[in-house]
Amino acid sequence: MTPATPTPLELFAGLIGGIGLFLIGIQMLTDGLKLAAGRALEDLLERYTSTPARGLAAGVLITALVHSSTAVTVASIGFVNTGLLSLRNALWVIFGSNVGTTLNAWLVATFGFGFRIEAFALPFVGLGAILMLAGRTVRSRALGQAIAGFGLLFLAIAILKNTFSVFGERLDLTDFAHPGLTGYLLLIAVGALLTLLMQASAAVIALVITAAQSGLMPVDAACAVVIGTNIGTSKTAILSAIGATANARRLAAAHVLFNVVTGIVALALLPAMIDVLARLREWFADQPPTPAVMIAMFHTAFNVLGVLLMVPVSGVLLRLLSARFRSREEEIAQPRHLDANSIAVPDLALRALRMELDRTQQLARDSLAAATATPPDELGLRRNALALGALAGAIGNYAHQISALRLPPALVESLAHCLRALQYQENAVEAARQAGVLGAALGPRPAADLDGTLSEFRTALDTLAAMADTAREDFSAAAVAIRLEEAEDDYQRLKEALLLAGAHARLDIRAMQEWLRHASLLRRATEQVAKAARMLAAQKTGGATPPDNQADTDDGTLAANGS
């Protein structure tokens, strides 16, 4: 009796059900392996990527183990984002993940058509289900999930294979696979779109391999779709880099660039690569290759070719990326006036140094204002500290080059005073950072009756921070000195009020001590900002350098706190 011909609805159900089952299987396989491995895979990625070669090997290995380049891409961007992985080595992890993901195509091509799939897959589903339900540990249950997912993956291939065999009797997709560049570009777009919709390139590749093996589309058309799946995976990197650090965005850009360049090269060489791979397969196996094997070979070959193309240009790529996607911190941390050509003329070099110190003075002033804000701007304080650290290193190197010249005594003294001003600024930023951290923990106020005194102290510091801008034409060192005295008076009043509040039990003694330390740190930052401003002003006007004899402590309070 001839079996009934499936209706269009049944064919659609087989297609959509097969795709859905494949997606579930690959998700279970990936999640189960990641959970079973625990932190081992993350440790491998973090520890064994110290060189480009190791990064490449780690990318290939981890992607092959978890069957997901998406997981490796997201993890790599996360590690770069937190500074655990350098951009240089992360590039090779990403490149390696593209090679590792080709294992999925080989699994489908090797096991999906060389066995009676149901007999091969069902034992895996059964064993995995037993482990998932009866496993006593999280790791054993996760391993069962991975095994069951592996079985479901191949059951999905069986469903797709049966569906496409029926499709083949009614529809010949070769009529729609137009040869030539236009046809290939259309197929690449289809592959990228399907990858975006399914969120898994492995599912699209399995679909394409099954269709090609069933005779619905020629091998070259299937390979063009596979190129599109590679490009479609770039979406993961782009989404993961949104809101991330500059280095993370650079890594995402490198992933997109790698996929696009590799796709262009693969498209240009598509007919030649298919012919060469077919000859190689016949030579090694002494038999014509199946469409499934050809597609898997092509997928691997063009990703390996992409990695080989990146070897000679990786240095240039890294430099290009480093010049792009600059964060605000990196822009601030780049010297603007330290021109190496000026070093030959010491007077010009010192002028450039003073102009750069005006910029670091801005960081010190901003840090003081951020520390006195309610609540303190901790993010801004960290940003300023990092930027000043980078600029201080550049300024120190520039000053070292100047000092190697034969300088007259006046310029030697001026250089020393510039470095002293930089030291004041670094002290100010560090004290402000500590005050900000402590202020965030303490809250907006110590007690209601201290609001007025605390507000006056903070206002005095904000005013001084605004006036200590040495880049302004109307800057006045005398006015800064007056403001510093007023801030000192406000500090003494706040200190006395805090001590009285503690003595009369209106404020917990421990809290009183912490508020005293907070005020002392702010006072320290204020003094250092004022000293740097006066020192720089004296250098610009050629006036007498202000004496560095102002005490930084009062009755040991600041010194006791190590500030």
Assign 530 a pLDDT band (cuts: 50, 70, 90): very high
Query: What's the whole-number mean pLDDT along residues 324-330?
Result: 64
pLDDT at residue 316 tops 70: yes
Token pair listed for 321: 């990326």
57-69 pLDDT, tens digit per residue, is 888 887 877 666 7
The full length of the chain comes to 563
Check: CB of residue 24 under 8 Å from CB of residue 198: no
Residue partners of 321: CB distance under 8 A and separation at least 6: 87, 250, 253, 254
User: Which stretches of 385-530 are assigned E, i.e. beta strand?
Assistant: none
Q: Name the superfamily (CATH) of residues 341-560.
A: Phosphate transport system protein phou homolog 2; domain 2 (1.20.58.220)
Counting runs of H as helices and runs of E as strands, what totals does the chain give? 23, 0
Assign 372 a pLDDT band (cuts: 50, 70, 90): very high
Rounded to whole angstroms, the Cα distance separating 91 from 81 reads: 13
In this predicted structure, what is the pLDDT of residue 459?
92
Nearest to 449 by CA among 491, 502, 523, 373: 502
Domain boundaries, the chain: 8-325, 341-560
275-306 pLDDT, tens digit per residue, is 888 888 777 666 667 888 888 889 899 889 98
pLDDT at residue 393 tops 60: yes
**What's this model's pTM, rounded to 2 decimal places?**
0.56
Query: What's the whole-number mean pLDDT along residues 122-131?
Result: 85
Check: CB of residue 205 under 8 Å from CB of residue 105: yes
In this predicted structure, what is the pLDDT of residue 517?
94
One-letter amino acid of 9: L
Query: What's the whole-number mean pLDDT along residues 399-407?
Result: 85
Token pair listed for 499: 């001590």
428-442 pLDDT, tens digit per residue, is 999 999 999 999 888
In this predicted structure, what is the pLDDT of residue 292?
85
Token pair listed for 341: 């050509």
First-to-last CA distance in the chain? 93
In this predicted structure, what is the pLDDT of residue 330?
59
Rounded to whole angstroms, the Cα distance separating 74 from 334 reads: 29
Half-sphere exposure of 452 (CA within 13 A, CB side): 3
Q: How far is CA 359 from CA 351, 465, 532, 559, in A?
A: 13, 14, 12, 29
Nearest to 463 by CA among 490, 438, 437, 445: 490
